Chain A
Amino acid sequence: MMAEQQKGKKEKKEKIPRQPMPQRPLEERRTTFKEVPLGYSPEQAILEASRCIMCTKPKCVEGCPVEIDIPGFIQLIKEGKFIEAARKIKEQNSLPAICGRVCPQEDQCEKTCVLGIKGEPVAIGRLERFVADYEREHSAVTKPEIPPPTGKKVAIVGSGPAGLTCAGELAKMGHQVTIFEALHLPGGVLVYGIPEFRLPKDIVAAEIDYLKSMGVEVKTNHVIGLTFTVDELFDMGYDAVFIGIGAGLPRFLNIPGENLCGIFSANEFLTRVNLMKAYEFPRSDTPAFIGNKVAVLGAGNTAMDAARTSIRLGAREVHIVYRRTRKEAPARIEELERGEEEGVIFNWLMAPVRFIGDERGWVKAMECIRMELGEPDESGRRRPVPIKGSEFIMEVDMVIHAIGTNANRLLFQKAPDIKLNKWGYIDADPETGATSKPGVYAGGDIVTGSATVILAMGAGKKSARAIHEYIMNKK
Chain B
Amino acid sequence: MGARILYKEELAPKVMKFIIESPTIARQTKPGQFLILRVHKDGERIPLSIPATDPEKGTVMLVSQEVGKTTAMLNDLEVGDEIYDVVGPLGRPTHIEKFGTTLAIGGGVGIAPLYPIVKELKKAGNYVVSILGGRSKEFVIMENEMRSVSDKVFICTDDGSYGEKGFVSHVLQHLLKDGREFDFCITIGPPIMMKVICDITRPYGIKTYVSLNTIMVDGTGMCGACRVSVGDKTKFVCVDGPEFDGHQVNFDEMMKRLAMYRKQEELAYKAYLEKRKEMSRH
**A residues with CB within 8 A of B:** 182-184, 192, 219-223, 226-228, 248-250, 252, 254, 258-262, 264-265, 267-268, 271-272, 276-277, 280-287, 289, 360-362, 408, 410
Residue A252 contacts which of B38, B220, B234 (CB distance < 8 angstroms)?
Answer: B234
User: A260: which B residues are within 8 A, CB to CB?
Assistant: 253
Complex Cα spacing A226 to B227, Å: 20
Task: Find out whether the CB atom of A276 lies under 8 angstroms from the CB atom of B220.
Answer: no
Complex Cα spacing A262 to B261, Å: 10
A251 to chain B, nearest CB (A): 9
Known: A221-B86, A271-B217, A410-B239. A259 touches B222 (CB 8 A): no
Complex Cα spacing A5 to B89, Å: 64
User: A222: which B residues are within 8 A, CB to CB?
Assistant: 1, 87
Task: Find out whether the CB atom of A226 lies under 8 angstroms from the CB atom of B89.
Answer: yes
Interface residues of chain B: helix, strand, loop or mixed (majority): mixed
For the complex of A and B, the 10 pairs showing the least CB-CB separation, nearest first, are A361-B256, A287-B264, A268-B223, A221-B87, A285-B44, A284-B42, A265-B224, A221-B1, A286-B44, A248-B222
A296 to chain B, nearest CB (A): 15
Task: Find out whether the CB atom of A285 lies under 8 angstroms from the CB atom of B43.
Answer: yes
19 residue pairs from A and B, CB less than 8 Å apart: A228-B24, A228-B28, A249-B222, A250-B222, A252-B234, A258-B234, A259-B250, A259-B257, A262-B260, A264-B225, A272-B217, A282-B267, A284-B42, A285-B69, A361-B252, A361-B256, A408-B221, A410-B220, A410-B221
Encoded as 1 (CB less than 8 Å from any A CB) or 0, chain B from 215 to 253 comes to 001101111110111000010100100000000001011
Asked whether B90 is an interface residue with its Cβ less than 8 Å from the other chain, the reply is yes
Task: Find out whether the CB atom of B28 lies under 8 angstroms from the CB atom of A250.
Answer: no
Using A226-B89, A262-B260 as known contacts, list a sample of 18 further A-B pairs with CB atoms less than 8 Å apart, ordered by residue number in A: A182-B218, A182-B220, A192-B218, A221-B1, A227-B28, A227-B89, A248-B222, A249-B221, A249-B222, A250-B222, A259-B257, A276-B217, A280-B42, A282-B267, A283-B42, A286-B45, A287-B268, A361-B253
User: B218: which A residues are within 8 A, CB to CB?
Assistant: 182-183, 192, 271
User: B44: which A residues are within 8 A, CB to CB?
Assistant: 276, 285-286
Of all chain A residues, which has the CB nearest B226? A268
Of all chain B residues, which has the CB nearest A265? B224
Complex Cα spacing A250 to B222, Å: 6
Complex Cα spacing A439 to B61, Å: 37
User: A265: which B residues are within 8 A, CB to CB?
Assistant: 223-224
User: A226: which B residues are within 8 A, CB to CB?
Assistant: 28, 88-90
Task: Find out whether the CB atom of A182 lies under 8 angstroms from the CB atom of B260.
Answer: no
User: B273: which A residues are within 8 A, CB to CB?
Assistant: none
Of all chain B residues, which has the CB nearest A189? B222
User: A248: which B residues are within 8 A, CB to CB?
Assistant: 220-222
Encoded as 1 (CB less than 8 Å from any A CB) or 0, chain B from 23 to 56 comes to 0110010000000001000111100000000000
Known: A265-B223, A268-B217, A408-B220. A285 touches B89 (CB 8 A): no
Asked whether B102 is an interface residue with its Cβ less than 8 Å from the other chain, the reply is no
Task: Find out whether the CB atom of B271 lies under 8 angstroms from the CB atom of A282.
Answer: yes
Asked whether B66 is an interface residue with its Cβ less than 8 Å from the other chain, the reply is no
Q: Which of A192, A285, A287 has the most C-beta atoms of chain B within 10 angstroms of its own C-beta?
A: A285
A374 to chain B, nearest CB (A): 29
Complex Cα spacing A272 to B253, Å: 22
User: A182: which B residues are within 8 A, CB to CB?
Assistant: 87, 218, 220
User: B88: which A residues are within 8 A, CB to CB?
Assistant: 223, 226-227
**B residues with CB within 8 A of A:** 1, 24-25, 28, 38, 42-45, 69-70, 85-90, 217-218, 220-225, 227-229, 234, 236, 239, 250, 252-253, 256-257, 259-261, 264-265, 267-268, 271
Task: Find out whether the CB atom of B224 lies under 8 angstroms from the CB atom of A268.
Answer: yes
Task: Find out whether the CB atom of B42 lies under 8 angstroms from the CB atom of A277.
Answer: yes
A194 to chain B, nearest CB (A): 15
Of all chain A residues, which has the CB nearest B239? A410
Complex Cα spacing A219 to B228, Å: 31
User: B24: which A residues are within 8 A, CB to CB?
Assistant: 227-228
Complex Cα spacing A233 to B249, Å: 37
Of all chain B residues, which has the CB nearest A406? B221
A204 to chain B, nearest CB (A): 17
Complex Cα spacing A282 to B85, Å: 20
Of all chain A residues, which has the CB nearest B252? A361
Task: Find out whether the CB atom of A261 lies under 8 angstroms from the CB atom of B256.
Answer: yes
A409 to chain B, nearest CB (A): 8
Task: Find out whether the CB atom of B220 lies under 8 angstroms from the CB atom of A223.
Answer: yes
Q: Which of B45, B69, B220 has the most C-beta atoms of chain A within 10 angstroms of its own C-beta?
A: B220
User: A219: which B residues are within 8 A, CB to CB?
Assistant: 1
User: B265: which A residues are within 8 A, CB to CB?
Assistant: 287
Complex Cα spacing A249 to B240, Å: 12
Task: Find out whether the CB atom of A271 lies under 8 angstroms from the CB atom of B223.
Answer: yes
Of all chain A residues, which has the CB nearest B92? A413
User: B225: which A residues are within 8 A, CB to CB?
Assistant: 264, 268
User: B271: which A residues are within 8 A, CB to CB?
Assistant: 282
Complex Cα spacing A240 to B89, Å: 24
Of all chain A residues, which has the CB nearest B236? A249
User: B25: which A residues are within 8 A, CB to CB?
Assistant: 227
Complex Cα spacing A470 to B88, Å: 31
Residue B223 contacts which of A254, A267, A282 (CB distance < 8 angstroms)?
Answer: A267
Complex Cα spacing A268 to B239, Å: 15
Task: Find out whether the CB atom of B38 lies under 8 angstroms from the CB atom of A184.
Answer: yes
User: A252: which B residues are within 8 A, CB to CB?
Assistant: 224, 227, 234
User: B221: which A residues are within 8 A, CB to CB?
Assistant: 248-249, 408, 410
Task: Find out whether the CB atom of A285 lies under 8 angstroms from the CB atom of B268.
Answer: yes
Residue B261 contacts which of A192, A259, A287 (CB distance < 8 angstroms)?
Answer: A287
Complex Cα spacing A347 to B137, Å: 59
Known: A271-B223, A285-B44, A287-B265. A221 touches B85 (CB 8 A): yes
B30 to chain A, nearest CB (A): 10
Complex Cα spacing A222 to B69, Å: 25
User: A183: which B residues are within 8 A, CB to CB?
Assistant: 218
A428 to chain B, nearest CB (A): 21
B130 to chain A, nearest CB (A): 29
User: A261: which B residues are within 8 A, CB to CB?
Assistant: 256-257, 259-260
Of all chain A residues, which has the CB nearest B68? A285
Known: A287-B261, A360-B256. A259 touches B217 (CB 8 A): no
Of all chain A residues, which has the CB nearest B222? A248
Of all chain A residues, which has the CB nearest B39? A285
Known: A268-B224, A272-B217. A220 touches B256 (CB 8 A): no
Task: Find out whether the CB atom of A250 lies under 8 angstroms from the CB atom of B42.
Answer: no
A255 to chain B, nearest CB (A): 11
Of all chain A residues, which has the CB nearest B216? A268
Complex Cα spacing A227 to B88, Å: 6
A262 to chain B, nearest CB (A): 8
Complex Cα spacing A192 to B217, Å: 11
Complex Cα spacing A222 to B43, Å: 18
Complex Cα spacing A408 to B222, Å: 8
User: A271: which B residues are within 8 A, CB to CB?
Assistant: 217-218, 222-223
Known: A282-B268, A408-B220. A184 touches B85 (CB 8 A): yes
